[in-house]
Amino acid sequence: MKEEKIVTKPQPQDQKNGRRDFIKKASIATTGAVAASTVFSAPYVYSASNPIKWRLQSYSGAALGAHVIQPQIEAFNRAAHGQMEIELYFADQLVATSELFRAMQNGMIDAVQSDDATMASPVDINVFGGYFPFATRYSLDVPVLFKYYGLNEIWQEAYDEVRNVEWLGAGAWDPLHIFTKNPINSLADMKGKRVFGVPTAGKFLSRYGLVPVTLPWDDIEVAIQTGELDGVAWCGFTEAYEVGWADVCNYALLNNVTGAWFGSYFANSKSWKKVPPHLQELFKLSMDSSHYYRQVWYWGGEAKLRVGGKKMELTTIPTEEWDQVVKDAEEFWDDMSSISPRAAKVVNIFKEYSKVMHEAGVPYRYS
C-alpha cells in the first residue's frame, strides 16, 4: 500500500500572529486563574492545618451512639473539608450525663446531644424533654409538634434566657417500654421494681411503685445481672437489643408509656459563634440527616423485634388497667403545667395536638 504524505499548509502571517496572541492571552488567563484559585482556596489550606475543633458528648453509650450520632458526625467531618473537626464522646466519657449542661455552658465541651430532663437543663420546660407520658404515639409526632404546633418557638425562647448556651433543634427517638428480669402482667407487678429510667417518665411511673434508679450507662447491664437493677424503663425494643439489655432481661412489656423520646442538640454559645455560617448550616443539615436515620432505624427495628425477637417474652397489662394509667397521665399533665406559664403552654399544645390526631383517625390514631 502506497504511503500517504501529510502536507502542512503554510499559515498566513496574520493567522500566525492571531495564534500567538491567543496563546499569550491564554497563558495570562491561566496564571490569573491559578492565582485566584490560590486566593479562594486559602481558607481550605489554612483550615487543613488549623481546623475549628469541637468536643461533642452524647447521652448515649458507644453501642447506641453508633446509630444515633456517629454516622452524622463522621459525615459532617467529611463534608467540612478540613475546615472543622468534631471529636465525638459517648455517655460519661468526659463528664457524667448529669453534668453535661454545666460542662457545655462553661466551655469544657462544645456541644451536647441529650434530652433536657436527663441533663437537668435549667429551664422551666425541661420535664418535657425525654419521655413525657402519652404526649406522643409515634416518632413523627415529635417533629410535627416542633415545626407546626409551636414547640420550636417555645424551646428557643426558653434557651434564649440561659447564658452561653444555644439550643440547635430537636428530634425523635424510640418509644418507651419496660424490660425486666421478672414479668409485669399488671400494675401491681411494677411495685418495688428498680429500673434504670428517664426522669419524667420515672416520676410518673413511680406512682405505681416502680423505682427509678440512676447509674452510669456502662454499668446498666452488669447491674441487671447482679440484681442491683430489676430492669430498664429507658428505651424501646431496638435499643434494648442493640446495647445488650435484651440479653439480661427476660420480659418486655408491650404497653408503652409514650411513643417517642424528645432529644435535642445544644452548643456552647462562644463555640457556636466561632463556626462560620456555612458550617453552622452544614451542622444543622447533618442533624436533619441524623433525625431521618433514626426515624427509619427505630421504626423498622421496633416492629421487627417485637415480632421476630427471641430474647424476651412479651407481656401485656390488661386494657382496663392501662386505661387508668392513661387517665392518670391527664392529672400528671396538669401538675406539670403548674410549673410556669410556659410549661402550661406546652401542655395545652399537647392537648390540642392529641385532639386533632384523634379526630383525624386512622392512620394518625386508631383509638
Q: What does the domain layout of the chain look like in residue ranges?
A: 50-172+261-299, 176-260+310-360
Task: Please give the helix or strand (H or E) that residue 253 lies within, else none.
Answer: strand 251-258
Task: Please give the helix or strand (H or E) that residue 56 lies within, else none.
Answer: strand 52-58
Give the span between the Cα atoms of 232 and 120, in whole angstroms.
20
Amino acid 27: pLDDT? 46
Rounded average pLDDT over 199-223: 95
CA 281 vs CA 111, 114, 137, 167, 168: distances in Å: 15, 20, 30, 14, 11
Instruction: For 258-293, give the DSSP string.
Output: ES--EEEEEEEHHHHHTS-HHHHHHHHHHHHHHHHH
Strands 251-258 and 313-315: parallel
Question: pLDDT class for 49, splitting at 50, 70, 90?
Answer: confident
Cβ(353)–Cβ(149) below 8 Å: yes
Which residues have C-beta within 8 Å of that of residue 157, sequence separation ≥ 6? Answer: 342
Residue 198 has pLDDT above 90, yes or no: no
Amino acid 22: pLDDT? 37
pLDDT digits (tens, 9 = 90+) for 175-191: 999 999 999 999 999 99
Identify the bridge partners of residue 58 per DSSP, sorted by sequence position: 113
Cβ neighbour number for residue 323 with a 10 Å cutoff: 11
Average of per-residue pLDDT values in the chain: 90
Rounded average pLDDT over 97-109: 97
Tell which wins on pLDDT, 198 or 320.
320
Lowest mean pLDDT, pick from 19-23, 105-109, 299-303: 19-23
Residue 2 has pLDDT above 70, yes or no: no
Alpha helices in the chain (DSSP H): 13-40, 42-49, 62-68, 70-79, 100-105, 141-148, 151-160, 199-205, 220-226, 237-242, 245-248, 269-273, 277-308, 319-337, 341-360
Residue 257 has pLDDT above 70, yes or no: yes
Amino acid 291: pLDDT? 97
φ/ψ of residue 273, rounded to 5:
-70, -25
Which residues have C-beta within 8 Å of that of residue 264, sequence separation ≥ 6? Answer: 113, 114, 115, 116, 129, 155, 167, 168, 169, 170, 171
Which residues have C-beta within 8 Å of that of residue 159, sequence separation ≥ 6? Answer: 121, 123, 165, 166, 167, 266
Decide: helix, strand or coil at residue 1. coil
Residue 30 has pLDDT above 70, yes or no: no
Using N-to-C axis directions, what is the helix angle for 151-160 and 141-148, rounded to 10°? 70
Cβ neighbour number for residue 90 with a 10 Å cutoff: 20
| CATH of span 50-172+261-299 | 3.40.190.170
Question: pLDDT class for 12, splitting at 50, 70, 90?
Answer: very low
Amino acid 47: pLDDT? 55
Positive or negative, the Cα torsion across 42, 44, 49, 54?
Answer: positive
Amino acid 1: pLDDT? 42
Give the span between the Cα atoms of 145 and 151, in whole angstroms.
6
Residue 19 has pLDDT above 50, yes or no: no
Question: pLDDT class for 50, splitting at 50, 70, 90?
Answer: confident
Decide: helix, strand or coil at residue 340. coil
Residue 305 has pLDDT above 90, yes or no: yes
Amino acid 28: pLDDT? 46
- For 176-260+310-360, give the CATH class: alpha beta
Amino acid 38: pLDDT? 40
Question: pLDDT class for 10, splitting at 50, 70, 90?
Answer: very low
| pTM for this predicted structure | 0.85
Amino acid 365: pLDDT? 92
CA 362 vs CA 220, 258, 353: distances in Å: 38, 18, 15
Amino acid 37: pLDDT? 41
Amino acid 23: pLDDT? 39
pLDDT digits (tens, 9 = 90+) for 153-178: 999 999 999 999 999 999 999 999 99
Check for a shared fold between 50-172+261-299 and 176-260+310-360.
yes
Cβ(204)–Cβ(329) below 8 Å: yes
Q: Which grid cell is 55? A: 468536643
pLDDT digits (tens, 9 = 90+) for 128-157: 999 999 999 999 999 999 999 999 999 999
Q: Which grid cell is 267? A: 452548643
Rounded average pLDDT over 305-312: 97
